[in-house]
Amino acid sequence: MAEMSGGCITLTSLGHIGGTSFTPIVNAPEVAILGVTRAQLMPFPNEEGGIVWRTMLPLSLSYDHRVINGADAARFCQYIALQLADSALFD
């Protein structure tokens, strides 16, 4: 436990039990917690009017508004999503 305390953000996952979303709770003195659930295939329209299937990984970010601005939190989520979508990271 000593090695896992004193951080400022936590990453948690409920994907192993099949959840699709949840609201993680921030544990003081941390200021944020990023929740990840199970990746799933979702249909999306393409330019030709057809459907393509994409793997989506739902993310949930809870944060302390006294410390983190909402716009900064949204940019953080967008950054994480872009990094996860960059297939070059997994080569």
Q: Tens of pLDDT along 13-63?
A: 988 887 788 899 998 888 999 999 998 899 999 999 999 998 888 999 999
Q: What is the pTM of this model?
A: 0.79
pLDDT 10s digits, 41-54: 999 999 999 999 98
Q: Which two tokens stand for residue 30?
A: 């941390």
| Residue 80, SS3 per DSSP | helix
Q: Virtual CA dihedral for 63, 1, 7, 37, nearest 10 degrees?
A: -40
Superfamily of domain 2-90: Chloramphenicol acetyltransferase-like domain (3.30.559.10)
Residues annotated catalytic, as ranges: 65
